[in-house]
Amino acid sequence: ATMPPLLSAIANAGRHGVLVKSAAVMERLGQVDAAALDKTGTLTEGTPYVTEVRVLRGSGLDDHGLLALASAAEHPSEHPLARAVVDAARARGVGVPVAEDFTSTPGTGVAATVRGRKVAVGSPIRMLDQTRSPDAAALVAELETEGRTAVLVEVDGSPAGVIGIADQARPEAAATVTALASLTGTSPVLITGDNPRAAERLASEAGIADVRAGLLPQDKVAVVRDLQSTGRKVLVVGDGVNDAPALAAAHTGVAMGRAGSDLALETADAVVVRDELITIPTVVALSRRARRLVV
Ligand code: ADP
Ligand code: MG
């Protein structure tokens, strides 16, 4: 028997390195007419690296001490920023202590007890009171002006330092945005938990005008629902635990496989296994062709 068009399209998507989970998904992919893309790990390569370690005066720590505490708290986390912090500690010859009572809050950061001290590492937007900690706020602003993701390190409830992290846009990010814009008839939206300046910088490299930054996981869902309330069928692409609710709310959710979290991979309708973003518009086009053959 000749294979039904949607099944051949699934096989074809597989050859492009995209795992499409069902024929129904293969069909839905071609219906999307809007796209919302995550930043870290989706439009960026997802291999961020530490560029600056800044210690606040009065913290009683030097940069190695700060990195030791921060990397210990980050060690259990699967977030790309966590890997960057742990790698930076190791690269500087800083031993990574063992952490206890680890907790992780998607879109915010991590916390743990290290050497008897309470350590939290994460988003300044969520953790920092600008007026109570003007020195920390100034450091964050300085790093963010450089387009960095600034991560705050808090020890025993007080800001102790800030770590600057950079992540490169994927080489095919701009081409993917252009292709999705032409296939859906609307420019994609950037949805990120990162700060607005880092988000704007990446967006301008990728050719995205509509930037929504500082979002919690449920805020990403709200952006998707908002687009869908105008009758649009939204494609969401993401990789993190923080993207899972938006992937579930999407008309079609696609996860980046290589560095993607298990939750994102399980929640998504399709997974980019070969780690090339440009395969997503390719698969949307495959779906459209198959659907023309079906009807
Ligand atoms: P994105 O939406 O760009 O993928 P996330 O929602 O995962 O980003 O994270 C948003 C912000 O929360 C990050 O920019 C960072 O400030 C903070 N954050 C989240 N997880 C961590 C972590 N493990 N370590 C440090 N910061 C984190
Ligand atoms: Mg991400």
Instruction: Quote the ipTM score.
Output: 0.97
Q: Among the options 33, 38, 243, 275, which is catalytic?
A: 38
Pocket probe mutation, ligand 1, options 194, 200, 202, max atoms within 8 Å of Cβ: 194
Q: Which alpha helices (DSSP H) does 51-172 contain, by range?
A: 63-74, 80-91, 124-127, 134-145
Distance of alpha carbon 45 from alpha carbon 72, whole angstroms: 24
Ligand 1 binding pocket includes 282 (Cβ within 6 Å)? no
pLDDT (tens place) for every residue of the chain, 295 residues total: 677 899 999 999 999 999 999 999 999 999 999 999 999 999 999 899 999 999 999 999 999 999 999 999 999 998 999 999 999 999 999 999 999 999 999 989 999 999 999 999 999 999 998 888 999 999 999 999 999 999 999 999 999 999 999 999 999 999 999 999 999 999 999 999 999 999 999 999 999 999 999 999 999 999 999 999 999 999 999 999 999 999 999 999 999 998 888 999 999 999 999 999 999 999 999 999 998 876 6
Residue 203 exposure: Cα atoms within 13 Å on the Cβ side: 22
Ligand 1 binding pocket includes 39 (Cβ within 6 Å)? yes
Ligand 1 binding pocket includes 109 (Cβ within 6 Å)? yes
Q: Ligand 1: which atom is nearest the Cα of residue 238?
A: 4
Closest residue to atom 8 of ligand 1, CA basis: 193
Residue 51's CB: how many other CB atoms inside 10 A?
15
87 is catalytic: no
Query: 182 alpha carbon to ligand 1 midpoint, in Å?
Result: 30
Q: Which residue segments constitute the domains of the chain, with CATH numbers given? A: 5-45+168-294 (3.40.50.1000), 49-166 (3.40.1110.10)
